[in-house]
Amino acid sequence: MADSTNPTVYEIFQSMEQGPAAATSTATAQAWLDHHSRSLGFFMDGKFILPADRRSVSLTDSKGGVVCSTACAEDADISQCASSAAAGWTSWSSLSCSQRAKALLRFDSPTPNPDLSAGLVGVLGLHGQCVSELCALCEASCSPAALVRLLQYYSSWAQLRDMLIPGWTPVGVVVVVSSDDCSLYPLMLKVLPALAMGNSVIVVPGRSVAPPALLLAQLFTAAGLPAGTLNILTGSDVTLGAKVSRNPDVRLISYCGNKQDGLALCEASAGMGVPVSISSCVGATCPFIIFESADIDSAVDEVIQIAFKKKKEVHWVLCVQESVSDSVVARLKLRMADMKSVPLSSDADRVLVDAAVQEALQQGATLVQPCGASTGARYPPTVLCGAAPSSPYVVTPPPGPLLPLLTFRSNTEAVLLGNHSPHGHAASIWTEDLTLALETAKSLSVGSVWVNSSSVSDPCFPVSGHKDSGTGTDGGQEARSVPVPASFLFIPSSLSVSCFFGILKSYPQFVGGKACKSVSGCSVAVQAPGGDSVLVFCPDGGRKDVRNAVEAAIKVQPGWMKKSPSARSQSLYSLAKGLESRRKEVCASLGAQLGVPAEEADREVELSVGRLNVWAAYCDKVQGGSPPMTQSGAALSFPEPLGVVGIVLPDDAPLLSLVTVLGAAIATGNAVVMVPSQRFPLPALAFVQVLQSSDLPAGLVNIITGNRDQLTVALANHSVIKAIWYWGSAQGCQYLQHTCTSPLKTLRLSWQQAGEGRGAAPDWAQPHPSLLEDLWRNAVQWKSVWIPTASMSVEKR
């Protein structure tokens, strides 16, 4: 008979005391910190470096205890780290694809070092508990299994890179920056793809993720990663990433974290000639939608789990159909009755939460809270029933355990509520009607949609930040910073712009499907090739012309987006046929504008017809799909258009460059507002006649001529334009990077400056395959929809 002093099963489950295994693994993490005297420096050139007299910042745990301190880099440290990364890139990029894949997975060469023989995946298996416990101590939790999955997935892409993109070369040195409140997984989702593609990486981690990042860098280098390939540089804020990008070897900055720090990084790095990819994965407001056809009990359990019982990286807004709202509230009250207060980060957060609750009560909201009051930096889980969608605590909720609850009547109203937030990170939909779930998922402007689940992730699925949630794509082959070079193309040019005025023939611009004059009625002269005469006058467009063009584009773009890929393809084939039929007129405009022989002009027209045919063929060829799942269930991944794209065209190959970027934009479902070359606008104006005779919807393509800088300012300041592709001056690039942050716009910038640059101009006649690939990927944003089965074992970050 069992001893009566032994606890019963009920008592064991009530206490749920921690077992000794966790204490052992905690000691492992503590031992690693003690080995470094709890003062962590930088990791560069394959070793730890802690210079003397460096200012440091302390990292504290949830109880206020100091976990460790990290050093703040100065200019000398930045220079040393950049040199280390450049040397690491030389050795890492010189390896073959199979050698890099082997380094990520394992090493076959015998060695007495068990870490070196295991490779990166094996090292994570050996030291996974230490990594996990250090993440827990720093409140940057990440599952070692998720990191292993990342390594396995991108090591296979390292193996296949040259096969899929022949002749591709690594970008160079990539700087990855995270905010203080970002966890380890989003950071490594940017680091590992860059390493797999042959780049070296400088990581500027946030305060909480710095110790785990330093540990991983040490482990990866011990496993055989060449010294200098992965470097860690810590500091006091994210602007350290902008200081690192001043080094000429840096080719890309990739950021993950909250929006505020991302915008600060954009502004600090503006004008440095380095593209910035933003993923605002922290602090976004995400809808949790419960339809009347949902399993109410499962939905309520899940929303409580993600809203109150986890460290939240996003804020949730509960949207419930009116017919089941009473049932949902009753279940919330029942589940929350015994819940304890949740610790806040500081007393200042308590002030913000109290203010939000008082504002909600004044607006007529009712509270659902567990019994008992709380004081200090703790607050009880709270549901704000009857909240208004426009309330500040709904649009930008304060940090704390608050869950606004909104109600809706119809499916259309649910989509409107889901899209009301300025963020577009993710959404969770609960319904047993699969058709309703897929229709709602397609209509929501978010990067990830979870059906009857939440927070599921896998690296094989691309996820884009929609709206203010970012400009980059993470995961999958489609990650913009991984398979293709950086979006900046530095174009040396010795030509200067001059303008002559006279009285000559005037050409119209093209807005809303009609040839028209500018709103101002002014015109500018187009110079002849010799510089001694004026060819024609073209309209001098301005802000009001851009406004009219965007209004026309936004009306037609949703309908164009909904057309089938084959229908868009046929329209592009028709456009190519129309250009072929007007070959003589377009050739004459090219010859007159550029002063080139007729044969050369005819060749550019021929190439332009072919390029339109290429984009027509592209329309229905790359449309996402359903990548294999690592667990039971199904998931879909598909590209979506950005919306209205502003394009400022280059001077090189004025017709061919126009149709190349135009085809990429409209083939994927976007509408465009184009500014042709200020020096060579005549080929674009001749192309207007082709557009007028095509079957493209009126307003889909708009062409506005005039001063490049003035029109660029108008495009940047228009809130409806979702992306800008720019070929122009360094000052124009700097202006766009600094300005296009509110609302956040996707930028593809190309700098044209005399005698300077880090690369060569693209050959529009014979472009590298990566250029067309880059254009296409910059024209779409990705969405992943997760559909679990009853037996699905979800893997959550």
Question: Residue 575's pLDDT is what?
Answer: 95
**Rounded Cα–Cα distance for residues 137 and 149 (Å):** 23
Cβ neighbours, 10 Å, residue 348: 11
Q: Using an 8 Å Cβ cutoff, are 284 and 469 in contact?
A: yes
Question: Residue 428's pLDDT is what?
Answer: 96
Taking the complete model, does pTM exceed 0.85, yes or no? Answer: no
Q: Using an 8 Å Cβ cutoff, are 549 and 512 in contact?
A: yes
Question: Residue 271's pLDDT is what?
Answer: 81
Question: Residue 301's pLDDT is what?
Answer: 93
Same CATH fold assignment for domains 285-464 and 509-620+643-728: no
DSSP string, 148-212: HHHHHHHHHHHHHHHHHSTT-----EEEEEE-TT--HHHHHHHHHHHHHTT-EEEEE--TTTHHH
Cβ neighbours, 10 Å, residue 334: 10
Q: Which of residues 793 and 505 earns the better pLDDT score?
A: 505
pLDDT above 80: residue 621: no
What percentage of residues in the chain have a pLDDT greater than 90?
Answer: 47
pLDDT above 80: residue 309: no
**Rounded Cα–Cα distance for residues 80 and 54 (Å):** 15
pLDDT above 50: residue 108: no
Q: Which of residues 494 and 446 earns the better pLDDT score?
A: 446
Confidence of residue 246 (pLDDT cuts 50, 70, 90): confident
Question: Residue 100's pLDDT is what?
Answer: 85
Least confident of 48-62, 91-105, 162-176, 241-255: 162-176
Question: Residue 719's pLDDT is what?
Answer: 92
Mean pLDDT of 313-336: 94
Instruction: Map out the domains of the chain as residue ranges.
Output: 26-109+117-271, 285-464, 509-620+643-728
**Rounded Cα–Cα distance for residues 253 and 203 (Å):** 10
CATH number attached to the domain at 285-464 = 3.40.309.10
Q: Using an 8 Å Cβ cutoff, are 146 and 172 in contact?
A: no
Tens of pLDDT, residues 527-564: 777 766 777 888 889 999 999 999 999 999 999 999 99
Beta strands at 378-379 and 342-343: parallel, antiparallel or unpaired: antiparallel
Least confident of 26-35, 420-429, 749-758: 749-758
**Rounded Cα–Cα distance for residues 556 and 671 (Å):** 8
Tens of pLDDT, residues 678-720: 889 989 999 999 999 999 999 999 999 999 999 999 999 999 9
Q: What is the CATH class of 26-109+117-271?
A: alpha beta
Confidence of residue 757 (pLDDT cuts 50, 70, 90): very low
Confidence of residue 478 (pLDDT cuts 50, 70, 90): low
Mean pLDDT of 490-497: 31
Mean pLDDT of 254-282: 89
Question: Residue 751's pLDDT is what?
Answer: 73
Question: Residue 396's pLDDT is what?
Answer: 86
Which stretches does DSSP call E strand in 649-763? Answer: 671-675, 701-703, 723-728, 746-753
- The arrangement of secondary structure in 509-620+643-728, i.e. its CATH architecture, is 3-Layer(aba) Sandwich (3.40)
Q: How many residues does the chain have?
A: 797
Residue of 86, 254, 227 whose CA lies nearest to 170: 86
pLDDT mean across residues, the chain: 84
Question: Residue 356's pLDDT is what?
Answer: 92
pLDDT above 50: residue 341: yes
